[in-house]
């Protein structure tokens, strides 16, 4: 029996969700809220978040994830 593929989520969907939270007035979003918003497990979501952090689009601190100026530029060019 073949393995069931994990749900794949494009990096842009994660960035879009964080950008939407930013536009709604949240500077930070925690991983759990992102997990509930997008509907993917934190385990799978963590790899995508790390990729976005390595690209310079997100930073993470004790308050959660925050979109950077570079992330805002990318998001605004796609979703304004």
CA 11 – CA 65 distance, rounded (Å): 14
pLDDT by residue (tens digit) across 13-66?
889 999 999 999 999 999 999 998 888 888 889 988 999 999 999 999 999 999
Domain ranges (residues) in the chain? 11-79
Q: Are 17 and 33 in contact (CB under 8 A)?
A: no
Instruction: State the CATH class of domain 11-79.
Output: mainly alpha
- Give Cα separations from 34 to 1, 2, 3, 40, 67 (angstroms): 32, 30, 26, 9, 13
Instruction: Report pLDDT digits (tens) over 65-79.
Output: 999 999 999 988 987
pLDDT at 52: 93
Per DSSP bridges, beta strands 58-61 and 64-67 are antiparallel
Q: How many CB atoms lie within 10 A of CB 73?
A: 12
Residues 1-15 have a mean pLDDT of 59
- Give the span between the Cα atoms of 65 and 49, in whole angstroms: 9
**From CA 34, how far away is CA 37, in angstroms rounded?**
5
């Amino acid at each position: 029996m073949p393995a069931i593929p994990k749900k794949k989520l494009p990096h842009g969907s994660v960035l879009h969700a964080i950008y939407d939270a930013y536009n709604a007035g949240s500077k930070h979003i925690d991983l759990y809220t992102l997990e509930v918003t997008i509907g993917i497990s934190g385990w799978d979501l963590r790899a995508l978040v790390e990729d976005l952090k390595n690209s310079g689009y997100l930073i993470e601190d004790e308050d959660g994830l925050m979109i950077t100026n570079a992330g805002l530029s990318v998001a605004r060019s796609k979703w304004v």
